[in-house]
Amino acid sequence: MQTRKIFLFVIATLLVLGLVGCNTNKPLTQSYNDRNVRPYNYDGTRNYGTYNEGAPYYGAPNYAPNYNRVTPYNGATPYANYDNRFRNNVNAEADRLADIAARVNGVHDATVVIAGGNVYVGINLNDRIQTGPQSDAVERNVYHAVKKAAPHYNVYITSDADLLGRLRNIGDGIRNGTPIDRFQTDMRDFNTRFRTYTR
């Protein structure tokens, strides 16, 4: 009696396993080869990366080859435009912080360069501001205004004319496409010669 129960259990198990094995063979994940996949969309206007904009296969009506498409053979990167867009965002942030610095009483105009986690602010003081305690007070006010607007950055500030000129040249170079890495020597010098305040 006991062996008959075991025999029926084994037969039932084999029958269930056999029926499960006859199920349709479906892939585990959905295939996206037939879709216009747009995996990178950061600014809402144009997608990063590459994706199929035209017909799904070569020879289709209105087929236009996309030579910017990422394949294992062309060495393209999906972040081809990321550097320029990142630079534009940093430039917009630098302009915003320069406007904030220029609005401080005693400042004629301001220049801001953002490098990594640092903000370098160069200010051109009004003619009526004397060097010494007056300029120190204006620098401190600018520091606090910029730090309040961008608390996640380390803020460095100067009103020295020579350093301001160098900072403007660096800012112009960055806006014209020069990589920030080319100015590392200047940035190290700025870290020692620009001021920062704790309170």
185 plus 92 within the same structural domain: yes
87 shares a domain with 76: no
- Asked if the structure places residue 27 within a domain, the reply is no
pLDDT tens figures, 121-180: 999 988 877 777 888 899 999 999 999 998 988 999 998 889 999 999 999 988 888 888
In the chain the first and final C-alpha atoms are separated, in Å, by 90
14 part of a folded domain: no
Per-residue pLDDT tens over the stretch 169-181: 999 988 888 888 8
Q: Which domain holds residue 171?
A: 83-193
Q: Comparing C-alpha atoms, which of 152, 124, 149, 141 is closest to residue 197? A: 141
Asked if 157 and 123 count as a contact pair (C-beta separation under 8 A), the reply is yes
User: pTM of this prediction?
Assistant: 0.56
Same domain, 60 and 112: no
Name the strand (E) or helix (H) holding 148. Answer: helix 133-149
